[in-house]
Amino acid sequence: MGASVAWHLAQRGMTNVVLVEREAQLATGSTGRNAGGVRHQFSHPANIALSVESIAMMADFESRVGTPVDFHRDGYLFLISKTSSVEVFERNVALQRRHGIDVQWLGADEAVRLAPGISTEGIRGAAWCAADGVADPNGVTVGFAKGAQALGVEVVRDTEVTGIGLTGGRVSSVHTSRGAIDTPVVVNAAGPWAKGIGRFCGVDVPVEPERRHIFIATPEQGGSWDVPAFEGRMPRSKVLVIDFDTSFYFHREGPGVLFGMGDPDERPGFDITVRWDFLPKVTEVAVRRLPVMADAAVSHAWAGLYEMTPDHNPIIGPHHEVEGFQIIAGFSGHGFQHAPAAGRILADLMTGHDPQFDLSPFAADRFTRAGTAGEHNVV
Ligand SMILES: Cc1cc2nc3c(=O)[nH]c(=O)nc-3n(C[C@H](O)[C@H](O)[C@H](O)COP(=O)(O)OP(=O)(O)OC[C@H]3O[C@@H](n4cnc5c(N)ncnc54)[C@H](O)[C@@H]3O)c2cc1C
């Protein structure tokens, strides 16, 4: 988010910008730990709109930003088992189609054709969008940052924001581990750490960190899934399959398969230690939905943090209580893919351009109002 905002600001001529990163490298927070999934299939119209714009930019990233990025558009397949989910997804598909997205509602047999090897047990339908896919988060982040630097933005790494100075109730400086920066505007793009940055100027940014695991598995005997023995038992394409009602998902990653699942028992916190005792729970679901996983051995695992808001929609725009405090955070586990559009929208707002986007679902003050409709398709 930070790199995207910086690039878009620079594009609009605002180059007196410093991107401050606590770690030695960019994209080592949530962005460096995610699954790279990029989809149009959201339940909230504002998220669909973010996807349409972001995906178009990712597909054209090299010519627009100057760095090539890996982007495989092998589709996203949501498998639906519960009757209640069928109704919701049928409505979502209709909504997405009204937004011009080519999404289809399929039967179980058609789902298997798109993702060979899955078990159809219990599947009542599937939502499919061929234009979705998997992209490279590190490439996109570094591409934005390099492009911003080329236009004059300063990128400082290994530098922690430790405070925000206020004068007369508005932002006047940012304190860092390497000294202070005088500025009337600060953008809180701290992902799962956004709440802590809010505290520096006395405002509540309702973003909670939540650990999510990713595992990579190859065949038990080593090598790749792309050998004749696994033909028809594991997809060859990078199709991203989500068993929505369990939240188990997978896609091919190199010779292996990347997979993960949400843990309903996970509590908010910053711990990203891999909980190996969670793996058997994931494997049990994985083997049911993709039986070849019984022949798999996990070669890598890591955990990262989702950045959850109460309604699973992000916060984009100014905070109503402190002038000069902008927020772009809380993307609730689907932020990598929305960074191109979200960064453009915030940069437009900050430079006095009309973002041509109804930001009310993403407003910082929406949580004080009752009944905001959030995002349902959180994986
Ligand atoms: C396991 C997993 C799978 C996911 N899969 C997907 C997916 O398939 N598709 C998708 O779109 N999204 C996915 N996500 C979500 C996605 O990763 C996030 O929504 C997105 O990366 C958020 O970007 P960000 O820039 O807001 O946060 P981050 O990438 O976390 O960036 C915030 C940065 O702020 C820095 N920072 C924090 N505090 C300070 C400070 N005090 N001073 C200076 N710097 C600071 C951090 O070091 C970090 O680099 C996944 C997340 C996880 C954990």
Report mean pLDDT in 10-residue bins for the chain, 379 residues: 98 98 97 96 96 97 97 97 94 96 96 98 97 97 98 98 97 98 98 98 97 97 96 97 97 97 95 97 98 96 98 97 98 97 98 97 89 83
Q: Which helix (H) or strand (E) holds 280?
A: helix 279-289
Residue type, 77: L
Residue located via tokens 């405090």:
325
The number of the ligand 1 atom at minimal distance from the alpha carbon of 20 is 43
Q: Which helix (H) or strand (E) holds 347?
A: helix 339-350
Partners of 187 in the β-ladder: 326
Residue located via tokens 């910008």:
17
CATH fold of 2-40+43-48+137-207+310-366 reads FAD/NAD(P)-binding domain (3.50.50)
Q: Residue 46's CB: how many other CB atoms inside 10 A? A: 20
Rg (the chain; Cα; Å): 21
**pLDDT at position 295:** 95
C-alpha of residue 31 to centroid of ligand 1, in Å = 4
Residue whose Cα lies nearest atom 41 of ligand 1: it is 161
C-alpha of residue 247 to centroid of ligand 1, in Å = 20
Residue whose Cα lies nearest atom 2 of ligand 1: it is 34
**pLDDT at position 379:** 87
Q: Say if CB 79 and CB 242 are below 8 A apart.
A: yes
Residue whose Cα lies nearest atom 4 of ligand 1: it is 34
302 burial via Cβ count (<10 Å: 0-12, 13-18, 19+): middle
Residue whose Cα lies nearest atom 46 of ligand 1: it is 29
The pick from 336, 338, 377, 378 for probing ligand 1's pocket by mutation, whose C-beta has the most ligand atoms within 8 angstroms, reads 336
Tokens of 19: 């991107």
For the chain, which residues make up each domain, given as ranges?
Answer: 2-40+43-48+137-207+310-366, 76-130+209-308
The pick from 34, 211, 270 for probing ligand 1's pocket by mutation, whose C-beta has the most ligand atoms within 8 angstroms, reads 34
C-alpha of residue 70 to centroid of ligand 1, in Å = 19
Q: Say if CB 305 and CB 209 are below 8 A apart.
A: yes
The number of the ligand 1 atom at minimal distance from the alpha carbon of 304 is 53
C-alpha of residue 4 to centroid of ligand 1, in Å = 13
User: Which of 209, 191, 215 has its CA nearest to residue 28?
Assistant: 191
Q: Say if CB 66 and CB 146 are below 8 A apart.
A: yes
Q: How far apart are CA 304 and CA 88, in angstroms?
A: 29
The pick from 26, 30, 140 for probing ligand 1's pocket by mutation, whose C-beta has the most ligand atoms within 8 angstroms, reads 30
C-alpha of residue 367 to centroid of ligand 1, in Å = 22
148 burial via Cβ count (<10 Å: 0-12, 13-18, 19+): buried
The number of the ligand 1 atom at minimal distance from the alpha carbon of 211 is 53
Tokens of 75: 């589709």
User: Which of 33, 73, 32 has its CA nearest to residue 51?
Assistant: 73
**pLDDT at position 203:** 96
Handedness of CA 43, 49, 52, 53 (dihedral sign): negative
C-alpha of residue 138 to centroid of ligand 1, in Å = 11
Residue whose Cα lies nearest atom 3 of ligand 1: it is 34
Please tell me whether residue 249 adopts helix, strand or coil conformation: strand
| Cβ contacts of 187 within 8 Å, gap of 6 or more | 2, 5, 326, 327, 328, 346, 350
Q: How far apart are CA 77 and CA 95, in angstroms?
A: 17
Tokens of 281: 């729970």
Instruction: Please give the DSSP secondary-structure letter assigned to residue 323.
Output: B
Q: Is there a shared CATH topology between the 2-40+43-48+137-207+310-366 domain and the 76-130+209-308 domain?
A: no
User: Which of 87, 83, 148 has its CA nearest to residue 339?
Assistant: 148
Q: Would you list the DSSP string of 134-189?
A: EE-HHHHHHHHHHHHHHTT-EEE-S--EEEEEEETTEEEEEEETTEEEE-S-EEE-
**pLDDT at position 377:** 86
C-alpha of residue 191 to centroid of ligand 1, in Å = 5
Q: Say if CB 329 and CB 354 are below 8 A apart.
A: no
Backbone φ, ψ for residue 127 (5° rounding): -105, 130
Q: Which residues line ligand 1 (CB under 6 A)?
A: 1-2, 20-23, 28-31, 33-37, 160-161, 189-193, 212, 214, 260, 304-307, 329, 331, 333-337
Q: Which helix (H) or strand (E) holds 48?
A: helix 45-59
**pLDDT at position 371:** 66
How is domain 76-130+209-308 classified at the architecture level of CATH?
2-Layer Sandwich (3.30)
| Cβ contacts of 272 within 8 Å, gap of 6 or more | 33, 211, 302, 303, 304, 305
Single pTM value for the model: 0.96
Q: Say if CB 312 and CB 332 are below 8 A apart.
A: yes
Tokens of 128: 């499919």
Please tell me whether residue 109 adopts helix, strand or coil conformation: helix
